């Protein structure tokens, strides 16, 4: 299995994708902790307002998530990624300018987040469909595991660096670094030698987009195990995303009596767990990707619920590590399930469909958790979100088992 990873690094196209995304994810990790921390300070602990920022941040996926998926199958994916990376770098650059001018307000964060989401809704399905376009099918599980592990390695050091930088300097520095990583990612993608192949004939009318989307939904209805994986994962994201973005910072501050350094440590250790989990999942022999993924959701939710009950920083850090491990199991397997089961000409639209559901769920989760934090004790929020993920995990295992039994009966006829 180690040779599989080494061979991937020897592939210049994959290496450049890997390099660009690792740099970009490092910037995102810095940006994420800076965005949350400065939002808390700017708003004066207005968690409902911060939740609204995250709601607005992902709301564009309702429209652009589908469009991004459709056009990633129609247009040159390499060009889409380059243009959106450059645009994201320019948008992030506006934040340090506002900070230097002492004009930054909560609505500025919301506006920048909204624009970044629109651009990401085109970039992400293009990237996820680009990987199986340049690699062989048998390489995908290893590629996804390696990408996820590398992303999260950036996530390990990103929050720690971000927490440290926030304690000694202005958040403007963090946002400048994030902007630069987008530009470096665009340059790495530019260097990839890629021959564009049209997957679909262009359709000029608006109805063409609807037809594309309907064909993708019809395909997913035939592949029910993939559809359940997408729908239930989106539901799990709805239950836990707001906890990761809002409840953990609040929990760190009010339950653990910590500062930005402790928050950075918790998020870094969680990221380290995803590195470990991604590398492990790329090495094991898997009979059912779907069952293992849903088991990952169940364990993830259980650990998250337990984490919210502890008042000891060291225990919280320990649990956060294993939350990350099972988060990686879910992420790697879900992407692999889609890439292995969906034809390449529907790949971008399928990822766009999932991204729409996941990110709308993410935005609603931020608003919901922000509201619940104003009404209930923090540990209750962790139990609510974690318990929901556990139930979703077991429901998914049951549905996949039923699908497998039906498939076996049909095969025996």
pLDDT tens digit sequence for 9-57: 888 888 888 888 888 777 777 777 777 777 776 666 666 666 666 666 6
Q: Are 304 and 243 in contact (CB under 8 A)?
A: yes
Q: Are 355 and 124 in contact (CB under 8 A)?
A: yes
**What span, in angstroms and rounded, lies between the C-alpha atoms of 142 and 5?**
7
- Judge whether 198 lies within some domain: no
pLDDT tens sequence across 219-265: 888 888 899 999 999 999 999 888 887 888 888 888 888 877 788 78
Domain count, the chain: 1
Domain, as residue range, for 98: 2-191+206-412
Residue 138: which CATH number?
Answer: 1.20.1250.20
pTM to 2 decimal places: 0.71
Q: What pLDDT was estimated at residue 201?
A: 45
Evaluate whether residue 143 is within a structural domain.
yes
C-alpha distance from residue 397 to each of 141, 232, 291 (Å): 21, 11, 5
Highest mean pLDDT among 54-68, 131-145, 176-190, 265-279: 176-190
CA distance 183 to 176: 11
User: Is residue 200 assigned to a domain?
Assistant: no
Sign of the CA dihedral with 369 first, then 373, 374, and 380 last: positive
With respect to residue 390, please indicate whether it lies within any of the assigned structural domains.
Answer: yes
* Residue 196 belongs to some domain of the structure: no
Please tell me the distance from the alpha carbon of residue 159 to that of residue 29, in angstroms, as a whole number.
Answer: 6
Instruction: Evaluate whether residue 326 is within a structural domain.
Output: yes
């Amino acid at each position: 299995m180690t040779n599989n990873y080494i061979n991937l690094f020897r592939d210049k196209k994959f290496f450049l994708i890997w390099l660009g995304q690792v740099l970009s994810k490092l910037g995102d990790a810095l940006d994420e902790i800076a965005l949350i921390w400065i939002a808390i300070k700017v708003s004066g602990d207005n968690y409902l307002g911060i939740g609204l920022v995250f709601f607005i941040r992902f709301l564009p996926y309702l429209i652009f998530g589908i469009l991004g998926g459709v056009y990633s199958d129609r247009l040159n994916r390499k060009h889409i990624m380059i243009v959106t990376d450059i645009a994201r770098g320019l948008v992030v650059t506006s934040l340090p300018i506002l900070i230097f001018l002492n004009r930054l307000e909560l609505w500025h964060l919301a506006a920048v987040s909204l624009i970044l989401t629109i651009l990401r809704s085109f970039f992400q399905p293009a990237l996820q469909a680009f990987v199986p376009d340049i690699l062989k099918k048998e390489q995908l599980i290893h590629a996804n595991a390696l990408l996820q592990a590398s992303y999260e390695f950036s996530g390990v050091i990103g929050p720690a660096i971000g927490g440290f930088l926030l304690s000694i300097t202005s958040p403007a520095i963090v946002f400048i670094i994030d902007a630069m990583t987008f530009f470096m990612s665009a340059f790495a993608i530019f260097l990839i030698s890629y021959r564009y192949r049209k997957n679909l004939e262009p359709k000029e009318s608006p109805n063409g987009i609807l037809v594309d989307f309907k064909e993708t939904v019809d395909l997913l209805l035939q592949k029910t195990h993939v559809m359940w994986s997408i729908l239930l994962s989106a539901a799990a994201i709805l239950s836990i995303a707001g906890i990761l973005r809002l409840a953990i910072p609040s929990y760190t501050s009010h339950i653990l009596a910590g500062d930005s350094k402790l928050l950075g440590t918790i998020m870094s250790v969680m990221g380290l767990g995803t590195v470990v989990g991604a590398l492990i999942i790329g090495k094991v022999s898997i009979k059912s990707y779907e069952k293992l993924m849903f088991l990952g959701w169940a364990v993830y939710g259980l650990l998250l619920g337990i984490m919210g009950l502890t008042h000891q920083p060291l225990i919280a850090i320990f649990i956060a590590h294993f939350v990350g491990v099972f988060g990686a199991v879910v992420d790697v397997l879900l992407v692999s399930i889609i890439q292995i089961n969906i034809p390449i000409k529907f790949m971008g639209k399928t990822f766009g469909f999932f991204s729409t559901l996941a990110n709308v769920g993410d935005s609603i989760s931020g608003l919901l958790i922000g509201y619940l934090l104003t009404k209930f004790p923090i540990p209750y929020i962790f139990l609510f979100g974690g318990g929901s993920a556990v139930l979703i995990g077991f429901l998914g295992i049951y549905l996949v088992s039923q699908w497998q039994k039906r498939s076996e009966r049909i095969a025996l006829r």
